[in-house]
Amino acid sequence: MSTSARAAHTSDSTIIDVTGQEVPLRFQVSVSVTKPVRSTTPATSYIPPDYGYDMPKLGKQYRKKLGLTTQQVEWLDKFWPPHNVFIALKGCCVATIQLYLQAMPALEAELKRNGASLAQLVAQSQQESSQLRRAAPNPYGWSEYDDRCLREQTEATIYSMIFRRCENVVREVYGNKRKLAAEFSGLDETVALTLEQQVGAPLAAILSGLVATIAAPDEATDRELNLQNIARWKQQLDHLAVQLTATTTREFVEGVNRLGERNARNPAIEHIFFEASKFMAKYDREEALRFYLQYVYHDLRSVTVNNKALAKTIQKSLFPQPEHLQRFEALVSQLVSDKDLPQALSQVPTVYARQRRKIELDLGAIQAVQHQHAGTVELLNEYLQDEPELPEMPVPSASQTQTLAASEPEEEIQLAVATAAPAVSVFTSTSSALAAWGLTATQEALLARFAEQALTLPQAEVEAFARQHGALRNQLIDSINEQCYERLDDVLIEEDGDTYTIYESYYQQLATPC
């Protein structure tokens, strides 16, 4: 087709564009044989499409943002920027760039100790690649242009692979398990093997020593990473759980709540709180229930409602009494109904609150009894009024007191001391009564400790006692309450702030044979 025809602007629908360009070529087809085809549009008006070849490389993009030196810009501009969802996040890209710029001078120093620089190794690889390509059969021949392109490609591949390996290290630290292929691919096999020995091995050692310098992702980056990998939270929750002890429950709770906030857009957010409730059940029942309520709330808002229940063993530790489970089930039902999570979380303490039994007095019955025994009461009053008054005893002098003390038998003194001493714990004299309660030796020992300290013990003392006997504090208290609940119809040991208390009336029942 003539040049004038290609420059024509009149379109023909029978012509199919196979160029793939955004700006279609326009042609004018003439059927006249006497008048030549003339272009109606000047040739200078054609604007070629923009293929984006002028897109800046990483050095030019971040030179001012990160305050890079000329050498650092040169290192980053050796290759075209990678395109993937991880590097697309600014925080991940910056972290990879910073690691790359830390690794490059360390790599240069290591290579120089072995007698070569990175530039020299690149030049050797270029020359070897060129020789191998020239020796290979090629029907099209080998031109200087081909040689120049090969050299540029070899250099870009080497620096790009170093950057990719830095990216893989950052991915690992940031909880992204999907690794990039970071071999010296695209080069001849012999060249790639040589580079792996000369560059790959020392680079791996350098990067392992720089892992600790990688900054944690900021909140915005963390949220985006959680969307890219919806199971990323598992590694972070396991890290929190490893550090969980009876004294670090507050740190665990705060960490889980922060983890939930950073996974607010994660469709798997409910599973974070479900797993957290299982971890916390061993240490704090109320916090475990709060985590489970958050699981229920987020599960209701998810596409698929799983409605998972805690294992039976965990339920038994969380709900030592049947009414505890009933109250919590009612709380969950209310949450499902009104979707008010803050209200549900505030009501968790009521699950374990002690419900006082109401005593209703029948005034009519009281008056009837008073009327029935009115005569007896009057007769007793007469007896009490007729009782003669006892004469006042003179107060003995100091000498008389000493004489009396000297003449008093030792047995009587011991008897008086025994009478004045506090009552001995019921657990030392009513073993037959306790046997019916089915208490273990450890449980009886703890109850004896309560008896020695006016039926009140600090939680710290109970914690120390439990550890001394190879038990957990909450489990020990719950086991005693479970054992005694059926007969007392109430909780024997009640938690009151930082202390545990036994009501005196319940304490006396322990000494009474069943």
Q: Domain of 437: which CATH number?
A: 1.10.10
Of 331, 352, 373, the domain-final residue:
352
User: Do 72 and 170 sit in the same domain of this protein?
Assistant: yes
Of 290, 320, 352, the domain-final residue:
352
Q: Does residue 396 lie in a domain region?
A: no
User: Do 168 and 70 sit in the same domain of this protein?
Assistant: yes
User: Do 177 and 250 sit in the same domain of this protein?
Assistant: no
Q: Does residue 366 lie in a domain region?
A: no
User: Do 140 and 17 sit in the same domain of this protein?
Assistant: no
User: Do 45 and 93 sit in the same domain of this protein?
Assistant: no
User: Do 67 and 207 sit in the same domain of this protein?
Assistant: yes
Q: Does residue 430 lie in a domain region?
A: yes
User: Do 152 and 206 sit in the same domain of this protein?
Assistant: yes
User: Do 34 and 67 sit in the same domain of this protein?
Assistant: no
Q: Does residue 407 lie in a domain region?
A: no
Per-residue pLDDT of the chain (514 residues; tens, 9 = 90+): 444 444 444 444 444 444 433 344 443 333 333 344 344 434 333 444 444 455 689 999 999 999 999 999 999 999 998 889 999 999 999 999 999 999 999 999 999 998 889 999 999 998 998 888 888 777 677 788 888 888 999 999 999 999 999 999 999 999 988 888 878 777 888 898 999 999 999 999 999 999 999 999 999 999 999 999 999 999 999 999 999 998 899 999 999 999 999 999 999 999 999 999 999 999 999 999 999 999 999 999 998 888 899 999 999 999 988 999 999 999 999 999 999 999 999 999 999 987 655 555 566 666 666 666 666 666 666 655 555 554 555 555 555 444 444 444 444 434 333 333 343 344 444 455 666 677 888 888 888 888 888 888 998 899 899 888 888 888 888 888 888 877 777 778 888 778 888 877 777 777 666 5
> Structural domain of residue 136, as residue ranges?
63-213
User: Do 259 and 348 sit in the same domain of this protein?
Assistant: yes
User: Do 448 and 466 sit in the same domain of this protein?
Assistant: yes
Q: Does residue 472 lie in a domain region?
A: yes
Q: 495 pairs with which residues across the strands?
A: 500
Pseudo-torsion of CA 290, 293, 297, 302, nearest 10°?
Answer: 100
Buried residues in 303-330 as b, exposed as e (16+ CB within 10 A)? eeeeeeebeeebeebbbbeeebeebbee
Q: How many Cβ atoms sit within 10 Å of the Cβ of residue 107?
A: 20
Q: Does residue 123 lie in a domain region?
A: yes
Task: Please give the tally of structural domains in the chain.
Answer: 4
Q: Does residue 421 lie in a domain region?
A: no
User: Do 236 and 348 sit in the same domain of this protein?
Assistant: yes
Q: Does residue 286 lie in a domain region?
A: yes
Q: Which long-range contacts (CB under 8 A, 24 or more apart) does 295-304 make?
A: 295/270, 295/271, 296/332, 296/335, 296/336, 297/335, 297/339, 297/341, 297/344, 298/269, 298/270, 298/273, 299/270, 300/336, 300/339, 302/267, 302/269, 302/270, 303/267
What is the C-alpha to C-alpha distance for residues 311 and 390, in angstroms, rounded to an integer? 72
Q: Which long-range contacts (CB under 8 A, 24 or more apart) does 352-359 make?
A: 352/285, 352/286, 352/324, 352/495, 354/490, 354/491, 354/494, 355/323, 357/489, 357/490
Amino acid letter, 96: T
Of 335, 352, 369, the domain-final residue:
352
User: Do 253 and 206 sit in the same domain of this protein?
Assistant: no
Q: Where does 436-498 show beta strands of DSSP type E? A: 456-458, 493-496
